[in-house]
A and B are shown apart, each in its own frame.
Chain A
Amino acid sequence: MQSLLNIFWLGIKELRSVFSDMLLVALIVYSFSFAIYSQANAVSETVHNASVGVVDEDDSTLSRSIRSALMPPYFQTPEQIAAREVDRAMEQDRFMFVLSIPPGFEEDVRAGRQPALQIDIDATAVSQASLGAGYIQSIALAEVNRYAARADVETEYPVVLVNRRAFNPNGTQSWFAAIVSLLDQLSMLTIILTGAALLREREHGTIEHLLVMPLRAVEIALAKVWANGLIILVAFTLSVLIVVEGLMQVPVAGSHLLLIAGTTVYLFAAAAIGIFLGTVARTMAQFSLLIMMTIIPMMMLSGGMTPIESQPAAIQPFTWFLPSRHYMAFAQAVVFRGAGFEIVWPQFLTVAGLGWVFLAASLALFRRSVSTSR
């Protein structure tokens, strides 16, 4: 009971400290508003605004109709270039795709000689290359077929495939990007804020002052966890309600309460990592390097950039130790799939467990780190 009171009062002090530094407050507001909004909205539809060059050596009705079928928003208006310019233009990155229509193309189609179109694809534009090439291919072939059949005939296939997207019927990119962005900000801010709060107390000597009072290290650590976690939790909740649901119109399928509960558990784990780094580092320079080495993998390997199952087998076991991976799975399940607690409880348990491990590790090193700090 007394211990809880200590944690409470120390936490209140922590809150006052954060709010007295306007720069920190400004950066938190920036992260949960502008950063999330711009990150989610910058990510466009799967193929968007791709630059296309066309080498039209046929210049026929058909070739012109193919050219004009490549339209925004998927493609920029195609630019005509000469065949000898192709290599140079691709190298200079003027075009992501170059479509070459050979001379006599229209005539060959009419004669049933099955002429070939050629698409040069900049295969270094990974995400766009294969999808965009597929789009160009189907658009071009549709035009050719229509021309050959002289009508808007649907090709009769024996079986029709209907693609249905569950949980995000229109495949709106910003929905997913918003969640990834939220996770990134949660991890980054919580870890830096909590770790820096500890390091600051160590640098100013106030931690020694606390340690000569009848307080346990665990109370000091937990006070920082709850106070900094609470600030981020409030920012997160406001961001979900105002920015994500309000401004960006992303529907949250699951329970808000469950989402906040899961985020609370994640914040505990992230803050514990912050405490851990703040305990291990001796100087701000070391702390900043540790931060880099922690948050970059946490953000890159959470499954937000690359699905876990697509990551190499050598890395997958390592990512299991990243709380962000489990939180990502949890957040996707709740926000999009409307999953309930009966589905996401394993993630709750894992994240909480990881948090305790980091906290326990920092407590074990706590006194030693204070005594070597000077």
Chain B
Amino acid sequence: MSDTPEPIARAVGLSHGYGDVRALDAVTLDIPAGRMVGVLGPDGVGKSTLLALVSGARKLQTGSLTVLGGDMADARHRTAVGPRIAYMPQGLGKNLYTDLSVRENLDFFGRLFGQGRAERAARIARLTQATALDAFLNRPAGKLSGGMKQKLGLCCALIHDPDLLILDEPTTGVDPLSRRQFWQLIDAIRAERPGMSVLVSTAYMDEAERFDWLVAMDGGRVLDTGTPADLKARTVSDNLEAAFVRLLPEDRRGSGGELTIPPRPQDGDDGPAIVARGLTRRFGDFTAVDHVSFEIQRGEIFGFLGSNGCGKTTTMKMLTGLLEATEGEAFLFGHPVDADDLATRKRVGFMSQAFSLYGELTVMQNLKLHARLFHLSPERTASRISELLIRFGLTDQADARAGALPLGIRQRLSLAVAVLHEPDMLILDEPTSGVDPVARDEFWELLVELSRRDRVTIFISTHFMNEALRCDRISLMHAGQVLVYDAPDALVAAKGAATLEEAFISYIEDAVGTDGDAAPDRKALADTPPGAAGGKPLSRFSPGRLLAYSMREFMEVMRDPVRLAFAFLGSSILLLVIAYGVSLDVEDMRYAALDLDQTPQSRAYLRNFEGSRYFLETEPLGSVAEMERRLRAGDITLAIEIPPGFGRDLLKGNTPGVSAWIDGANTIRAGTIEGYVAGAHYSYLADLARGAGIDPEAQQAATVEPRYRFNPSFESIYAIGPKAPAMLLLFFPAVLMAVSMAREKEIGTITNFYVTPTNRLEFLVGKQLPYIAIGFVNFILLTFLVVVVMGVPLKGSLLALSLGAVLYAVAASGFGLMISSMTRTQVAAVFATTILAMLPTQQFSGMLQPVSTLEGGGRFIGQVWPATYYMHLSVGAFTKGLEFRDLTRDLIALAWFSPVFVAVAALFLKKQEK
């Protein structure tokens, strides 16, 4: 199969599936070393899976894979060869940290590979000079253009001089000029390090010409391999796109033949469908769209050609009313764009760049939902859906969940949904990115039919040159500005260029001024000596790598001051709310008397309630019925009923009874009230005895002296004040930690953990450290509030309390790590962390009721929950005035939690993706 004796990677019977979807199907392949190998094929054919498997980022399922002379199923081999492989995942800047600057990103990767400060500085200087990124060292990665992001991604991948460089669709969505520069850069690097093997995937067939050796893939299988010339010769094609289509099995080749577009009928002039005049949009100081103007005629296919981030999507959003224009105006069918104009919206179909239908619904459900939202009648819905299912070839997938479909089919569904209500205009934002050439041709057949037969105006954006050629007119967009717009042929002719791509590059060069500074500087690369750190073995555990993660996380947190302010300000406010709001001192409780006696004796009895600060007297009751009614209405919580004949019976010594009716709904309060009522009653009895000349105390056989220890005034604040921070010091670090971790999974930066020599502990603990610091700063703030604002003195050991706070923050963030290691999305992480932590912290940790007096499951949970020990410790240190040695038991208990949480997190966190 290959003429190279020593392949860099060898796959035998390699298969990989996601649920029911088969991404790789028994692939057997030798990839030659020391060459630039291209993996060719549209999205969803298994290219990314193959590359991720070779890089070690994904876990092998079936078959065997040998890379750099070892088995990739063997963890030891992966660890050993990991530093020799560099992997740049698909998606613009997917493995970059958008909040960090260019230098910080590179520095982070350098640290992961154990490079010293001087070495990192030298390498960063060399790489950024070569890629002309040195002028932007301090710019956050998120604010770079698509092409620059890819260059930075490449720099990050090259920082440790890999022997195998794996690039997954590095140029998708990048403007043609940057794309050309990118390949020049790769060529320069290969010239410098000829031994390095490069494995690249691409969906652009024209790019594949520059590769040494190709692997054409479709449907999880390898169609053919060989040099570009071989493939073309074998299929008798003059370009690779045609060659690829001919390599496909018979039934996948589509209708064959070239797509022909009939000319647009020049009929009645009924005004332009879309008019934009000086449309401008700024985000802060960044101008995304800069005075864009154009007119689109009815029935025209108008193309918008430009790289990612050049303002295409923003312009489209302004036309649909999703975004308000900062300046300028736009008209659809002669009406100004107005977000509240529902009538115009019915005439427009929109298909956004990302798949924005509901993945959890089936194809049929998605279509029906949209038919209903556009108020199609049931008959019309049925006929329209069955018509579209046939026309878009979706009949077989009608009951499949949309999220599980291949991208090409999903895009067809999106288009079906967009045309469901027969709009007069379609706005399509990169509808064919990642769709294979055959599906793309089919898609265009549909568009042509809509335009020419139904006279639908189509406004489509793309970054494929050959698609742009099919439009009636195109506009070239770069950096927020429309450079020029006209028919594609006219544009090519105007520049005297051979292809549209060349014409576009020439227009961009006109716009940005002749380049030169942006081109790779071969000299800089050639001058620097080759890297020295290639074969240096890396240690299994490195504090440096751990700290690299901490530093990075810390910088990211610091870049979001809103979040930080929320965390500190929010917890301060909550502390005051909880500490003052939770009180067990019953005061001003509304009561009423039902005095059925109305004698001096009954009034004397009631006077004991009137003066009390606990009770607040309300209008007296007239009858039992009234008492029941007012108790029921919650107007009063206590009624004192004095029976008729109370005075008379008392004087006669007949022991009359008084009834106290207490609202028992709130049982905690009812218990307290009972105590107060009894107190008032006994004080009446004592008065009565003293009135009769008897000292009631002398009558007692013994007396009891209560001594309220630690809190002599017996105010709740001394108990709740020290306990309330426990709740906040748990929730804030735990939730922030969980979200941060889940975010890495959702955004994809977790790939850096998969493909760099980072072990789980370095990753988890490294990420945890900044949140421990946040927890501790929060502790200082809250302690200050407790002491100064609430006036609760810290009588005991500050050292023990501080140490406890650190251990507690470690435990809290550990809990966040544990939960997020088991959840996939940020939503689920927040949901699970909050719900699982709330009950034990609020109810089972001794906030109000000591854990030892709880029952059943609650008591057990309380005993294995960190908040219990921290509350205990805090009350001990604050109110009881305990010294360090008295608090060691709590400290030891607290110290146990984090190792357990982190161990569970490590268990669930896989070093490879499934």
B69 within 8 A of A: no
From known contacts A130-B675, A159-B650, A161-B660, infer whether A116 and B703 are also in contact, taking CB-CB under 8 Å. Answer: yes
A125 within 8 Å of B (CB atoms): yes
Cβ of B658 < 8 Å from any Cβ of A?
A: yes
Which residue, of A10, A46, A116, A332, has the highest number of chain B Cβ atoms within 10 A?
A46
Category for how many chain B residues contact A: 35 or more
- B872 adjacent to A93 (CB under 8 Å): yes
Contacts of A370 in B (CB 8 A): 322
Q: Digit string of A115-153 for contact with B (CB within 8 Å is 1, else 0)?
A: 111111111111111110110010011001101100000
Name the residue on A nearest B629 (C-beta). Answer: A343
Q: Which segment, of B30-38, B128-136, B705-713, faces chain A?
A: B705-713
B657 pairs with A114, CB closer than 8 A: no
Q: For the complex, is A158 an interface residue (Cβ under 8 Å from B)?
A: yes
Residues of B295-351 at the interface with A, using a CB-CB cut-off of 8 Å, are: 317, 320-324, 339-340, 342-343, 345-346, 348, 350
Q: Is the CB of B704 within 8 A of A117?
A: yes
The stretch from B509-517, B580-588, B900-908 touching chain A is B580-588
Choose the segment among A229-237, A302-310, A352-360 that binds chain B (4+ C-beta atoms closer than 8 Å). Answer: A302-310
A47 to B710, CA, bound (A): 20
Q: Hey, which chain A residues are within 8 Å of B740, CB to CB?
A: 285
Pick from A42, A159, A161, A315: contact of B577, CB under 8 Å? A315
* Bound Cα distance A211, B322 (Å): 7
Q: Does A127 lie within 8 Å of B584, measured CB to CB?
A: yes
Q: Which chain B positions have C-beta within 8 A of A112?
A: 701
Q: Does B578 contact A (CB under 8 A)?
A: yes
- Is A158 in contact with B666, judged by CB distance below 8 angstroms? no
> Contact mask B823-849 → A, CB, 8 Å, 1/0?
101111011111100110011100011
Contact B582 A158 (CB under 8 A): no
Q: Considering the chains assembled together, what is the distance between the CA atoms of A219 and B882 in angstroms?
A: 59
Within 8 A of B (CB), among A264-305: 283-293, 295-297, 299-301, 303, 305
- A166 to B678, alpha carbons, bound, how many Å? 17
Q: CB within 8 Å of B: which of A13-48? A: 13, 16-17, 20-21, 23-24, 27, 30-31, 34-35, 38-39, 41-44, 46-48
Interface of A is mostly: helix
Residues on A with beta carbons closer than 8 Å to the beta carbon of B365: 13, 16
- The answer to whether A39 and B843 have CB atoms under 8 Å apart is yes
In the bound complex, CA of A50 to CA of B698 (Å): 31
Contact B661 A127 (CB under 8 A): no
Q: Is the CB of A51 within 8 A of B852?
A: yes
CA of A122 to CA of B727, assembled, Å: 22
A163 on interface, CB distance cutoff 8 Å: yes
What is the bound-complex CA distance between A160 and B659, given in angstroms? 9
Contacts A121-B709, A206-B356, A333-B633; A148 near B701 (Cβ below 8 A): yes
B664:A212 contact, CB within 8 angstroms: no
| Contact between B650 and A158, CB atoms less than 8 A apart | yes
Do the beta carbons of B322 and A312 come within 8 Å of each other? no
Q: Which of A24, A35, A118, A215 contacts B373, CB < 8 Å? A: A215
Cross-chain contact A297 with B581 (CB below 8 angstroms): yes
Contact of A336 among B665, B702, B853 (CB under 8 A): B665
Tell me the nearest residue of chain B to A66, going by C-beta.
B702
A21, B828: Cβ atoms under 8 Å? Answer: yes
Residue tally, chain A, CB below 8 Å to B: 145
Q: Which of B374, B588, B667 contacts A171 (CB 8 A)?
A: B667
Q: Within residues 659 to 695 of chain B, which ones have a CB less than 8 A from any CB in chain A?
A: 659-672, 674-675, 677-678, 681, 684-685, 688
Would you list which residues of chain A between 315 and 338 have a CB under 8 Å from chain B?
315, 319, 329, 332-333, 335-338
Question: Is A176's beta carbon under 8 Å from chain B?
Answer: yes
- Give Cα A293 to B663, complex, Å: 32
Contact status A38-B858, CB under 8 Å: yes
On whether the beta carbons of A49 and B852 are closer than 8 Å, the reply is yes
- Rounded to whole angstroms, the CA-CA distance of A129 and B672 in the bound complex is 11
Q: Interface segment, B109-117, B258-266, B559-567, B757-765?
A: B559-567
Q: B residues 348-387 with Cβ under 8 Å of A?
A: 348, 350, 352-354, 356-358, 360-361, 365, 369-370, 372-375
A162 to B643, CA, bound (A): 12
Bound-state Cα–Cα, A323 to B711, Å:
35
Q: Is the CB of A38 within 8 A of B856?
A: yes
Residues of B within 8 A of A (CB): 317, 320-324, 339-340, 342-343, 345-346, 348, 350, 352-354, 356-358, 360-361, 365, 369-370, 372-375, 560, 562-563, 566-567, 570, 573-574, 577-578, 580-590, 605, 628, 631-634, 650, 653, 655-672, 674-675, 677-678, 681, 684-685, 688, 698, 700-712, 714, 716, 718-720, 727, 731-732, 735-736, 738-740, 742-743, 823, 825-828, 830-835, 838-839, 842-844, 848-850, 852-859, 861-862, 872, 875-876, 879-880, 882, 886, 889
5 contacts between A and B (CB under 8 A): A6-B373, A121-B706, A165-B662, A206-B358, A370-B322
- Given contacts A292-B732, A301-B581, list 18 more A-B pairs with CB under 8 A: A21-B828, A23-B823, A121-B708, A123-B711, A131-B672, A163-B662, A166-B628, A212-B348, A290-B566, A292-B574, A300-B581, A306-B584, A307-B669, A309-B587, A309-B589, A310-B588, A312-B583, A315-B577
Q: A-B pairs with the 6 shortest C-beta distances?
A: A42-B858, A165-B664, A168-B664, A123-B711, A336-B665, A284-B826
